């Protein structure tokens, strides 16, 4: 395990005061960086490596010199641009903001999904309810609303979710198929991406996606388009509802980026239900991004800072877990971790679990 954030509190008081200002002004710097990207200023600088003056930038982007100066000066303070005389140039950080898929996914998700709702984080922390969700509508949790969120929020949510899980799917498919399963239950299968990939990779395999009915409408459309209706079944269910139990007879129960949508108590409850559907041969495979099991601190930073979204926007009670805390919950449900495979895709680990 990597000792992330071990250098904390090692800077001078002067540097610490500067760090505190970076945090105090973070929402402003964030919005300026996003406007620099979305209004085409970063692109203009990227395409003019020879540098551009304020006037040339204003002309290139059709913005006023006042607007450009405001954006450029904050960007200068945030290492997004650099200045030589009258000319401005994009920095390496600016290039990541403009071109890096992870940065783009994180920024769009934070702007379109989280920004307004996180204003009410205090209330969410105190009440245990996703109080920020009211910026989009009146729901208990974000999950039944995913397919009807405003278009920008919906696109950004799915791109963010898929960015972190999709990159691990090809390797995960190989690991699962090496176990020679004939029936897989994909719990929280979302739009059907994983199920479709694994079904295409083994034509003899049968997959069932269990998810909320609202979510399965999107999955159904995708599966029909891909001509996989014969191989993939849909099981509408709310895993939290006492009347819904897990179906039996599967070789592998697969949960990808699913249990982080629930509180500790709910996770134990869901895993106990899964256990009831497992026999000695059934393998429960859980794929999760654990912040303590990353290769790079950048990944740990992104994963940790996804938790406040769960608090204020998603359901008020879940988070991205530390692997030690998560394994405790598995054991509380009477299950046993048999193997952990780290570093799949950008940030995922797979826990292979058996009946205890
Ligand atoms: C973060 S997404 C994960 C999607 C996908 N497995 C992946 O790896 O990208 C969580 C999924 O859990 C589903 N979900 C949330 N609460 C649920 C519940 N109570 N019962 C069933 N599914 C639920 C959501 O609809 C969503 O599809």
- ipTM for this prediction: 0.99
The finding on whether 188 has its CB within 6 A of some atom of ligand 1 is yes
Atom number of ligand 1 nearest to Cα 169: 8
Ranges of CATH 1.10.10.10 domains, the chain: 13-99
Q: What is the residue whose two structure tokens read 């009915």?
A: 213
CATH top-level class for 165-294+313-355?
A: alpha beta
* Structure tokens given for 353: 């679990």
Which pTM value belongs to this model?
A: 0.93
Ranges of CATH 3.40.50.150 domains, the chain: 165-294+313-355
| Helical (H) or strand (E) element with 121 | helix 121-127
Q: Give the pLDDT of residue 1.
A: 61
3-class SS of residue 330: helix
Ranges of CATH 1.20.58.1390 domains, the chain: 101-161
- For residue 1, the CA-to-ligand 1 centroid distance in Å is 28
| Helical (H) or strand (E) element with 350 | strand 348-355
3-state helix, strand, coil in the chain (%, to 5): 55, 15, 30
- For residue 15, the CA-to-ligand 1 centroid distance in Å is 42
Helices 13-24 and 26-38 pack at an angle, to 10 degrees, of 60
Distance from the Cα of residue 168 to its chain's centroid = 13
Q: What is the residue whose two structure tokens read 């459309």?
A: 221
- For residue 121, the CA-to-ligand 1 centroid distance in Å is 23
Domain topology for 13-99: Arc Repressor Mutant, subunit A (1.10.10)
| Helical (H) or strand (E) element with 235 | strand 232-236
Q: Give the pLDDT of residue 44.
A: 98
Between CA 291 and CA 299 the distance in angstroms is: 7
Between CA 293 and CA 334 the distance in angstroms is: 23
Q: Across the strands, what pairs with 210?
A: 187, 235
Between CA 340 and CA 351 the distance in angstroms is: 5
Q: Give the pLDDT of residue 229.
A: 95
- For residue 122, the CA-to-ligand 1 centroid distance in Å is 26
Is the CATH number of domain 101-161 1.20.58.1390? yes
Label residues 110-142 b or e (16+ Cβ within 10 Å = b). bbbbbbbbbebbeebeeeebbbbbebbeebebb
The finding on whether 312 has its CB within 6 A of some atom of ligand 1 is no
Task: Measure the N-to-C terminal CA separation of the chain; round to a whole number of Å.
Answer: 25
Would you write out the chain's pLDDT as a tens digit for each of its 356 residues? 668 999 999 999 999 999 999 999 999 999 999 999 999 999 999 999 999 999 999 999 999 999 999 999 999 999 999 999 999 999 999 999 999 999 999 999 999 999 999 999 999 999 999 999 999 999 999 999 998 999 999 999 999 999 998 999 999 999 999 999 999 999 999 999 999 999 999 999 999 999 999 889 989 999 999 999 999 999 999 999 998 899 999 999 999 999 999 999 999 999 999 999 999 999 999 999 999 999 999 999 999 999 999 999 999 999 999 999 999 999 999 999 999 999 999 999 999 999 97
């Amino acid at each position: 395990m990597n000792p992330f954030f071990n250098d904390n509190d090692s800077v001078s008081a002067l540097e610490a005061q500067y760090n505190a200002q970076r945090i105090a002004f973070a929402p402003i710097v964030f919005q300026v960086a996003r406007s620099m990207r979305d209004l085409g200023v970063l692109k203009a600088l990227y395409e003019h490596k020879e540098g551009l003056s304020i006037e040339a930038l204003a002309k290139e982007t059709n913005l006023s010199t006042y607007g450009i100066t405001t954006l450029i000066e904050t960007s200068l303070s945030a290492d997004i641009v650099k200045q030589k005389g009258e000319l401005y140039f994009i920095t390496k950080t600016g290039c990541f903001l403009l071109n890096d898929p992870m940065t783009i996914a994180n920024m769009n998700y934070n702007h379109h999904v989280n920004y307004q709702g996180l204003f009410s984080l205090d209330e969410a922390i105190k009440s245990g309810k996703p109080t920020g969700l009211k910026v989009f509508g009146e729901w208990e949790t974000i999950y039944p609303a995913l397919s009807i969120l405003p278009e920008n929020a919906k696109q950004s949510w799915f791109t963010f979710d898929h960015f972190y899980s999709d990159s691990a799917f090809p390797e995960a498919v190989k690991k699962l198929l090496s176990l020679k399963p004939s029936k897989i239950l994909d719990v929280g299968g979302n739009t059907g991406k994983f199920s479709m990939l694994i079904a295409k990779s083994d034509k003899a395999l049968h997959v069932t996606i269990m998810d909320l009915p609202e979510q399965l409408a999107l999955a159904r459309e995708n599966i029909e388009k891909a001509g996989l209706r014969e191989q993939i079944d849909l099981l509408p269910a709310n895993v939290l509802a006492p009347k819904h139990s897990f179906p039996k007879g599967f070789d592998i129960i697969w949960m990808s980026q699913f249990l982080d949508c629930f509180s500790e108590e709910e996770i134990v409850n869901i895993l106990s239900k899964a256990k009831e559907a497992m026999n000695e041969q059934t393998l429960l495979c859980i794929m999760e991004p654990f912040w303590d099991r990353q290769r790079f601190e950048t990944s740990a930073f992104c994963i940790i800072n996804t938790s406040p979204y769960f608090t204020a926007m998603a359901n008020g009670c879940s988070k991205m877990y530390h692997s030690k805390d998560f394994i405790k919950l598995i054991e509380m449900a009477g299950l046993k971790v048999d193997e952990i495979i780290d570093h799949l895709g950008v940030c995922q680990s797979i826990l292979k679990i058996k009946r205890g």
